[in-house]
Homo-oligomer: A and B are copies of this chain.
């Protein structure tokens, strides 16, 4: 199996499943007569990021992760999304971006150095595999599962199968 097989499909699986979670959340708002902003701005604690920012960060960890692993230009996307539909579009454009990579671009990337920013003024260099396993994926899943937790905590009828994107 290639390093592409070990990275891109995993990102795509969860980006797709989050789109489904947002649709269920939007339907929940319509059914229960809840303003969408209530859920889009919901947080698990006052100093945590709200749902919308969690989704934006999920997209960033996937897109920037793949860019850094393939030594491509790292995309910078303004966080302008204000509705469920706009967040689904952000997820979809992130998926399109990930699909634009050719598997060969990842060949050997597991053993190549990746230098990436940590905090406002420091950077860290890791081998591609360590960057993916120790930084990129844990951050990606952390944001995705927190988004799920926010919606679940607010009573949206979702569960782990929705998170995994299993039918």
Binding site for B on A (CB under 8 A): 1, 5-7, 9-10, 13-14, 44-45, 48, 110-111, 127-130, 132-135, 137-139, 141-142, 144-146, 148-149, 152-153, 155, 160, 163-164
Contacts and interface: CB of A to CB of B under 8 A. Distances in A.
A99 to B, nearest CB: 16
List 7 A-B pairs, minimum CB-CB distance, nearest first. Answer: A141-B141, A145-B145, A1-B129, A10-B133, A149-B149, A1-B110, A44-B153
A127 B1 contact: yes
A9 B160 CA distance: 24
B137 A10 contact: yes
A11 to B, nearest CB: 9
Contacts of A128: 1
A141 B152 contact: no
A111 B2 CA distance: 10
Contacts of A160: 139, 142
A44 B163 contact: no
